[in-house]
Amino acid sequence: MKSLYGVIGSPIAHSMSPLIHNNAFLQNGMDAHYHAFHVEPDQLETAVAGMRALGVTGFNVTIPHKEAIIPLLDSVEDAALQIGAVNTVVNKDGKLIGYNTDGRGYVEALKEVVGLKDKHVLIIGAGGAARAIFYTLALEEGIQLDICNRTVSKSEDLIKEFSLERIARSITVDQAAKEIKNYDVVVQTTSVGMFPQINDTPLPLVSVKNHAVFSDIIYNPIETKLLREAKALGAITQNGVHMFAYQAALAFEIWTGKFPDTDRMKKLVEEHLGGKTC
Ligand code: NAP
């Protein structure tokens, strides 16, 4: 019998997850189907019960359900509990187990372009995605993390909550812009610059450190204004397609035990968005 997988969220119509997962099932010769389910917050509990009752093998969870789903699951891995968000659920003999692959997916993708040991990293933003990324980056040996966010109290709270004062500090966006030449890696996690506000950028950029890496988790547009400017100043850049592919690949691996072809996933997303990944 065909195994069923899916994603629950709202909005969900433009999700690219069915595209990449259905292709990965095909590539791996698996008889499975992945479907996008539109679920409003007041229907989350019913939807999760439905997944359980129908024997859905695994599913992703996206905005706005990543936090609210936690109490509805049978167990949740420690990293997802710490991050406070689940984006992947596997149904193991009727038990729903939650994971978070956003942080790990991001860091795996980043390591394709830069080693992180002893690096000085700036994270721009302190929202949901930043939380998973900050938690996971902090596990890297010798890393030093600065976080700047429009609402400074949120970056301060994040550092306190994870007790990471030893390796992390909160700074203002102005300070980050002034000190930008100190950073080996700049990780952009805000929604600033996302379609349709493609001419916005989270901070002004006049120079970058030699060999600096600028990574933006936005994938629409494929190249944000920040990445364009950083590239023009000599930085190596990476867009959000890479994180998207890796978080999906890790979810696929949790469900099936197989790690899919991430280059193929990136290519599919890039073709769908009508551009080239960088
Ligand atoms: P979120 O929890 O709503 O956080 C939004 C962040 O953006 C906060 O830091 C917020 O600052 C900042 N922000 C929003 N509008 C701003 C503005 N006008 N000026 C300055 N800062 C602003 O959102 P999220 O879930 O973290 O998602 C953030 C972005 O990441 C989205 O573009 C999303 O598409 C992308 N994303 C990509 C992937 C991927 O796989 N590539 C995965 C997840 C998310 P305040 O705290 O001051 O409001």
Q: What is the pLDDT of residues 188-203, one digit of tens each?
A: 999 999 999 999 999 9
Residue 257, φ and ψ in degrees, nearest 5: 80, 0
Q: Do the Cβ atoms of 269 and 244 come closer than 8 Å?
A: yes
Q: Do the Cβ atoms of 88 and 101 come closer than 8 Å?
A: yes
pLDDT at residue 275, rounded to an integer: 61
Q: What is the rounded distance in angstroms from the CA atom of residue 61 to the CA atom of residue 6?
A: 9
Q: Exactly one of 2, 66, 178, 266 is catalytic; name it.
A: 66
Q: Do the Cβ atoms of 82 and 134 come closer than 8 Å?
A: no
Q: Is the CB of 191 under 6 A from ligand 1?
A: yes
Give the number of other Cβ atoms within 10 Å of residue 226's Cβ. Answer: 26
Q: What is the rounded distance in angstroms from the CA atom of residue 242 to the CA atom of residue 200?
A: 22
Q: What is the rounded distance in angstroms from the CA atom of residue 227 to the CA atom of residue 238?
A: 8
Distance 256 CA to ligand 1 centre (A): 30
66 is catalytic: yes
Segment 123-130 mean pLDDT: 96
Ligand 1, residue 130: give the atom nearest the CA: 26
Q: Do the Cβ atoms of 11 and 1 come closer than 8 Å?
A: no
Which residue has a Cα nearest atom 7 of ligand 1? 190
- The per-residue pLDDT for range 69-81, each reduced to its tens digit, is 999 999 999 999 9
Q: Do the Cβ atoms of 67 and 76 come closer than 8 Å?
A: no
Segment 93-106 mean pLDDT: 97
Segment 147-160 mean pLDDT: 98
pLDDT at residue 274, rounded to an integer: 85
Segment 251-265 mean pLDDT: 98
What string of DSSP letters covers 186-220?
EEE-SSTT-TT-TT--SS--S---TT-EEEE---S
Residue 36 CB contacts under 8 Å (≥ 6 apart), including other chains? 6, 7, 9, 12, 13, 15, 17, 18
Q: Is the CB of 33 under 6 A from ligand 1?
A: no
Residue among 278, 254, 247, 275 nearest 265 (CA): 247
Percentage of residues of the chain with pLDDT beyond 90: 98
End-to-end CA distance of the chain: 40
Predicted TM-score (pTM) of this structure: 0.96
Secondary structure tally for the chain: helices H, strands E: 10, 12
Task: Name the β-bridge partners of 124.
Answer: 148, 188
Q: Is the CB of 127 under 6 A from ligand 1?
A: yes
For the stretch 96-101, contacts whose Cβ atoms lie closer than 8 Å and that sit 24 or more positions apart, written own/partner, are 96/48, 96/51, 96/52, 96/72, 97/73, 98/61, 98/69, 98/70, 98/73, 99/251, 99/254, 100/132, 101/246, 101/247, 101/248, 101/250, 101/251, 101/254
